[in-house]
Amino acid sequence: MKTQKLSALAKTIRSKNAGVNLITFDIIFAERATYERVKRAGVLTRETVCQLYRIPDQRICDFVEFDPGNAIKFTLYRSRPSGSPGDPDIFGAQQYAPLLDVEVPE
Amino acid sequence: MRSLRIICPNGHLGFAPIRVESFRLGVAERPDYIAADSGSDDVGPVPLGTDTSTSPLSWQSHDLEHMLLAARELGVPMIIGSSGDTGSNSRVDLYVKIIKDLAAKHRMPQFKLGYFYSEVDKEDLRRRMRAGETVAGLEGYAALSESELDATARIVAMAGVHPFIELLKQGADVIIGGRSSDSCVFAAPAIHHGFPAEHAYYLGKVLECASFCAEPYGGKETVLGEVTVDAVEVTAMHPAQRCTVASVASHAMYERANPYFEQVAGGTLDMSECDYEQIAARTTRVSGAKFLPAAEFRVKLEGAGKIGERYVGMVGIRDPYTIAHVDEVIAWARDKVRERFGDTGYDLYYTVYGRDGIMAELEPMRDKPAHELCILVQGVAPTAEMAEEVCMIGTRQMFYARLPDVKGSAGSVAFALDEVLRATPACRWTLNHTLRCDDPLELFPTHMTSAGV
């Protein structure tokens, strides 16, 4: 089956702190049709996020399909609050890279 | 007043300077207020734990000077929230002094300068806890215990609109705020002038990060928000930026777990039925927001505590065999620290760039390290002397790690610097909680002074 990478379909793929103990991920599409296609494909769900980041479901605090923004959004609990010694990403801004290569069926 | 117009030039004043060109265009629109938030918990727990700012005084002064000059020239109020990153008392005092110094420097006619504090006294909080008040945890934090309170250096409470409105009622021309919700810096004047709460809070929500609600992406540019009894309209001031339905709707998602709800002291902004409409090339109109008053008035508390003094070291590795066995190199160095200081009483952290340095346990590629690694070593201990030695042993001993089949026997790592460097103290977020209050102003004492000549 022919697939395309999420990075080729989404306008924005980003991660960022949402408060001191959460990191939130936004996957935003320019076109409603692309957004609907990715939703339909089922490649971005609580289950696939758990597999991709190798985390149990309890690490996911929120998973939202945000129609007004053509966006899929999920939020993870951090393993420790931001900026604790040893935390390598105080702003949570570089945690999205694994999403870029998610394969989306045609 | 049919509508109220506010410009916001910066989403985190002081963190990076405002872009002056679009700010001037915003000022030329003759807004009714000029306002910006200056705080963030993104910067980690160190500024609050050590009562410092993350940015140079000159950057803070730069933005405050542009805003003050414009506000006094237009004769409109200027509002700043969460002064100096943390909104602690010392940061409020610093910003009040900057405003007074700028007013004197420019020989401005005298004006009223209002300010409020947000720090919460630890012993006051302890008394409330002992009187049976639960300090409830947010986002995975347990209810506050006295031992966590003991570990806390400084606490700030997150103000809503209330202290800003109180100072506007007293006729403040400039307001310097302690820690406060970003959106309330803008919602307060809108409510003060009688606009509906739902549109006032939405106005604040969309303006709080300045041009982050516009496209194409570009921070620190000015945006203009206009609130009426029916809706909010937001316009990008930079000629190349536009506020579109997509950019404004997307901003609702930014930095929050749920894009539909925004909690502030006193209630919740509900954006789930917002209607977005492009009404001009650079302007989007938003209606349909709702504000749900809270049954109980709870205020968010942020607290940070110092863990210890900190030194950092750095090494590089190029030998593929050593890269494959980097955990053994680290274990060797950890063991040498243990021989000197024992098992406890210090902390030692290794961040392995090129393998899983950025994502740690979330990294799916950690079995495929790059051809070279950089390892950041952090030593934390009660005294600077001990932290330096912990870090020095933890760094230097990687050089001497003994791997059974290594070809290079003259040193296991590369040093760009054969030294360890003092860093800011290690801190952690101890409070991410809420506290019930009887009076919306009880944690936020307001003061009025004057500036100018």
Task: Report chain A residues whose CB lies below 8 A from the CB of B256.
Answer: 18, 24
Residue-wise pLDDT for B48-99, tens only, equals 999 999 989 999 999 999 999 999 999 999 999 999 999 999 999 999 999 9
- Whether the per-residue pLDDT at B408 is higher than 90: the answer is no
**pLDDT range class, residue B285, cuts 50, 70, 90:** very high
Instruction: Please check the confidence at residue A1 and state whether its pLDDT lies above 80.
Output: no
| Chain B interface, Cβ < 8 Å to A | 41-46, 138-141, 246, 249-250, 252-260, 274, 276, 302, 307, 310, 347, 349, 351, 357-362, 364, 378, 380, 426-429, 432
pLDDT confidence of residue B405 = 87
> Are residues A40 and A87 in contact, defined by beta-carbon separation less than 8 angstroms?
no
Looking at residues B344-355, what average pLDDT do you find? 98
Burial call B311-347: b when 16+ CB within 10 Å, e when fewer: bbbbbebebeebbebbeebbebbbebbeeebeeeebb
Q: Looking at residue B144, what DSSP letter applies? A: P
The structure tokens listed for B26 are 């915003």
Residue A68: predicted pLDDT: 85
Question: How many angstroms separate the CA of residue B250 from the nearest CA in chain A?
Answer: 5
Predicted local confidence at residue B219, as pLDDT: 85
Binary contact (A88, B250; C-beta < 8 A): no
Q: What is the DSSP string of B83-130?
A: EEET--HHHHHHHHHHHHHHHHHTTPPPEEEEEE--B--HHHHHHHHH
Instruction: Tell if the CB–CB gap between A21 and B141 is shorter than 8 Å.
Output: yes
Amino acid letter at B210?
A: A
Of B250, B257, B357, the CB nearest to A18: B257
B453/B100 Cα distance (integer angstroms): 10
pLDDT at B406: 86
pLDDT at residue B250 above 90? no
The verdict on a CB contact (< 8 Å) between A53 and B358 is no
Tell me whether residues A77 and B140 touch, CB distance under 8 A: yes
Could you read off the pLDDT of B187-208 as tens digits, one per residue?
Answer: 999 999 999 999 999 999 999 9
Report the run of H or E that residue A96 belongs to, with start and end.
none
Q: CA B421: distance to chain centroid? A: 26
- Beta carbons of A43 and A77 less than 8 angstroms apart: no
> B453 to chain A, minimum CA–CA distance in Å?
42
Q: Which of B44, B360, B362 sits opposite A82 (nearest CB)?
A: B44
Kindly give the pairing relationship between strand B33-39 and strand B78-85.
parallel
Please give the ipTM for the structure prediction: 0.94
Q: Residue B409: what pLDDT?
A: 81
pLDDT, residue A17, reads 94
Average model confidence (pLDDT) for chain B? 96
Closest CA to B99 of B450, B360, B348, B407: B450
- Shortest Cα–Cα distance, B50 to chain A (Å): 13
Interface size A-B, in CB pairs within 8 Å, comes to 136
Report the length, in residues, of chain A: 106
Distance of CA A33 to the CA centre of its chain: 19
Confidence of residue B175 (pLDDT cuts 50, 70, 90): very high
B139, B253, B358 member nearest A19 (Cβ) = B139
For residue B140, the chain A residues in CB contact (below 8 A) are 21, 61, 77
Give the length of chain B.
Answer: 453
User: Across the interface, do A85 and B347 touch by the CB < 8 Å criterion?
Assistant: yes
CA of B71 vs chain A CAs: smallest distance (Å):
32
State yes or no: pLDDT of B304 exceeds 90.
yes
Mutate to test the interface with A, among B255, B312, B368 (most CBs of A within 10 A): B255
pLDDT tens digit sequence for B131-146: 999 999 999 999 999 9
All residues at 6 or more sequence positions from A105 whose CB lies less than 8 Å from its CB, including other chains: A1, A2, A3, A41, A43
- Average pLDDT of span B161-178: 98
Looking at residues A84-93, what average pLDDT do you find? 95
